[in-house]
Amino acid sequence: MAHQKTFIMVKPDGVRRRLVGEVIARFEAKGLTLDRLEMVTPDEETAAVHYAEHRGKDFYFGLVDFVTSGPVVVMQWSGESAVSVARLMMGTTDPAAALPGTIRGDYGLDIQQNIVHGSDSPESAERELGIWFAS
């Protein structure tokens, strides 16, 4: 396996529900390293670029509306197999089906408002980190 970087976002529902600390605490306890962090309210353009792969799907406009609905916390985390480790800890997309012990499994029920985003591959991580940490 390999040392990797990944992009993690606490979505607007996670911020509103005061779960930022919980998400950070879990990844820190696991042994991943927090490299960068910023709070920002996404604009529509940035959200559209981030979710470009979902354009055309029935949930796309709702998703962009949701992710631009308030502040999010965007982060870079790194460590051994950081991409897959973070995805495993987040749980499956639909929190109603996500395993207990995962973030989505422990804190959610709604398939759209599922608390966190995490890159699905090292290539996605590079792309997403470039979008959210442009400087």
- Interacting residues toward Mg ion by CB under 5 A: 120
Smallest separation (angstroms) from Mg ion to the CB of 121:
10
Smallest separation (angstroms) from ligand IDP to the CB of 20:
17
Nearer to ligand IDP, 4 or 114 (CB): 114
Nearer to ligand IDP, 25 or 52 (CB): 52
Could you tell which of Mg ion, ligand IDP, none binds residue 46, using a CB distance below 5 to 8 A set by kind? Answer: none
Smallest separation (angstroms) from Mg ion to the CB of 134:
20
Nearer to ligand IDP, 41 or 93 (CB): 93
Q: Which residues of this protein are in contact with ligand IDP, per CB under 6 A?
A: 54, 59, 63, 93, 111-112, 114, 117, 120
Tokens of 35: 């490299």
DSSP the chain: --EEEEEEEE-HHHHHTT-HHHHHHHHHHHT-EEEEEEEE---HHHHHHHTGGGTTSTTHHHHHHHHTSS-EEEEEEEEETHHHHHHHHH--SSTTTSPBTBHHHHH---SS--SEEE-SSHHHHHHHHHHHS--
For the chain, the distance separating the N- and C-terminal CA atoms, rounded to the nearest angstrom, is: 29
Q: Is 3 a catalytic residue?
A: no
Could you tell which of ligand IDP, Mg ion, none binds residue 81, using a CB distance below 5 to 8 A set by kind? Answer: none
The residues annotated with a catalytic role in the active site are 117
